Amino acid sequence: MNIRSPVYAIANASAACIHCGEWTHLVALAVPPDHEVLVDSAWERSAQGAWLFYVEDLSESVQATVREFAPWYRLAPSEARVAAYWMNHCERCGAPQEDHELHCEPGGAFLPSRVVVPVADGAAADVATIERLDVPRRFAATAGGYALEPPF
């Protein structure tokens, strides 16, 4: 494990699946300021919150919470990376939604510049919504990606 915190959050967003084009729910994990990061075999406290992505390992308690809240977020092999990691899957077609598209590309669900949501009359409405569920339990994970200060 390389990240730990006394609490964490599950961020929730929606976006069009990159495979089938249907809207699907997506989640991401975030830790608040004062979480700890393992750097050169020593734990260092961070003054800023962070998004985590390319999460390769989660503690059992975090896995249980994630499975209950977001069953479409699960450990799976990645075509883009050598290792498997916890990733979102489309609720409609089941296709993986790679973290690079969600966290690293402008306009991605967790790096929004603008999100467009269809409305009933065929028009579109702008929405940039990332909701957060605070989880008051200990968090431990191994994450290959780490971005400071989530904008939610």
| pLDDT at residue 150, as a whole number | 59
Percent of the chain with pLDDT over 70: 88
Buried b (16+ CB within 10 A) or exposed e, 102-120: bbeeeebbbbbeebeeeee
Return the percentage of the chain with pLDDT > 90, whole number. 70
- Determine the pLDDT at residue 107: 78
Nearest to 103 by CA among 143, 57, 51, 56: 51
Please tell me the predicted confidence (pLDDT) of residue 125: 46
**CA atoms within 13 Å, Cβ hemisphere of 108:** 17
Amino acid (one-letter) located at 119 = V
Give the pLDDT mean for 51-79.
96
**Tell me: the pLDDT tens digits for 101-151?**
888 887 788 887 655 555 555 544 444 578 999 999 999 999 999 988 755
Q: Residue 7: what pLDDT?
A: 98
Q: Is the pLDDT of residue 17 over 80?
A: yes
pTM of the model: 0.86
The reported pLDDT for the residue numbered 38 is 97
DSSP label of 108? B
Backbone φ and ψ for 120, nearest 5 degrees, come out as: -55, -40
